[in-house]
Amino acid sequence: MDKDFQDIQQLDLEESNNQFSGGQPPSQTFPKRLCSSFHLSLLALSLNVLLLVAVCVIGSQSTRLQEELRTLKETFNNFSSSTLVEVLALGSHKGSMSDKLTSLEAQLKKQHQDVTADHATLFLHLKHFPTDMSSLECNMVFLQSNGTKCCPVNWVKYGGSCYWFSRAGMNWHEAYAYCQLENAHLVVINSWDEQRFIVEHMSPFHTWIGLSDIQGPWKWVDGTNYEHNYQHWGMAQPDNWQGHEVGAGDDCAVVLANGFWNDKFCAELYHWACEMKHNITV
């Protein structure tokens, strides 16, 4: 009991000393520490809650972004597929258009060629129209006069002569005889104008004319002087070529399609032209 009393005294002494010294009573230290720990725990809990909320928000945003990314990928894939289809279709359409353009170009080229040919034919007809009209008129006069005036039917009037042009081939001797039966002779060319007239009517065929050297020197069938008359031989012609191995040289004259004369083997087959002088009154 004495010990208890001593302890009580000791406590009173310590309390009295604390009051005089102005210090904090020991009983206030523990609640303060307890309050500080609570604040720290509350702060940590708040931070955890905020962190959890942030994680949830970020997770939600990530899910939404992933969904949007997936949608964008699908949209891009669909766009790429549709674009590829359109590109392929455009390429096919381009190929089809190219084929159509090529076809149209070919048609246009053909039409241009046809128009050019028609124009050339029309120009030729217009060029010969006066001659054709004159020949038609001459044919009528010939029929009306019982053959005593103008050129025979199917003969062409030019200058002071009538001309007939074959549409088949004979050798020179047969052509010569044919013209004789028509009271005519193989054509005798006396000028460049007559030469051009013959070529225009016979082109593109080679044509026998009434010139030969069968009897030695070159002679016209109507007796026209060869040396002083018009001539239009090609280069190095006449050459009396004998390479045909038939025992004779080239003895008969032909007008080639280009207008130049050439001596040919008389047995060859060519077109020919007959000429007759006539008292043309029309």
Nearest to 204 by CA among 259, 252, 156, 263: 259
Q: What is the mean pLDDT of residues 135-161?
A: 70
Distance CA 44, CA 34 (A): 15
What is the fold of 156-277?
Mannose-Binding Protein A; Chain A (3.10.100)
In the chain, what are the domain boundaries?
A: 82-150, 156-277
Tell how many helices (H) and how many strands (E) occur in the chain: 4, 8
pLDDT in tens, 200-222: 998 889 999 999 988 888 999 98
pLDDT number for residue 56: 76
Q: What is the mean pLDDT of residues 160-185?
A: 92
pLDDT at 281 over 50: no
State the residue for tokens 């005036």.
Answer: 149
For the whole model, what pTM was predicted?
Answer: 0.48
Tokens of 187: 């054509």
State the residue for tokens 């002071």.
Answer: 160
